[in-house]
Amino acid sequence: MSEERRDAFKLSCDWLSIQEVVDTVSSTSCGALSVFIGTTREDEVEGRKVIGLEYEAYESMAQSQFSRLCADIRDHWPSVIHICVHHRLGWVKVGDASVVMAISSPHRRDSQEAIQHCITQLKANIPIWKKEVYDTQEASWRENSECSWSSHSKLQQEHKNAE
């Protein structure tokens, strides 16, 4: 029994529905549905408390990169049936979900490994940027350490090359 695979990606300024993401990847042919929910955490940066994040995206490029990510996931885990990622844009207060993703497959190992790969690659390659907003009303754009263009990533690569 063959099922047409679904890849769904949504950028939204609205609250994210975990149930909508789960429903998008549900399948009677799958015994595993792995979910990742990334929330905005309360953090302290240089003595300032983070009260929320503001997200922006280059939407058409984000969709294109998501299609590439799905192809990459299917190359590594051919049994993956459905992939769904919803990411917030705009203001996200502490405690709210910034990203919800789910992947279904017949067996749990593939969906679990694929979901880990998905969040790592999303942070590294999808053009979504976040600005931390602090209790002082100051704000600062932050880079994901996974991004190939980030200074953190460059430092890690320099360390590997020195070894």
**Positions at the binding site for substrate:** 107-108, 123, 130-132
Handedness of CA 103, 106, 107, 113 (dihedral sign): negative
Q: Residue 10 pairs with which residues in a beta bridge?
A: 86
Residue 128, Cβ neighbours under 10 Å: how many? 22
Residues annotated within a binding site? 107-108, 123, 130-132
SS3 146: coil
Contact 11/59 with Cβ under 8 angstroms? yes
DSSP 13: S
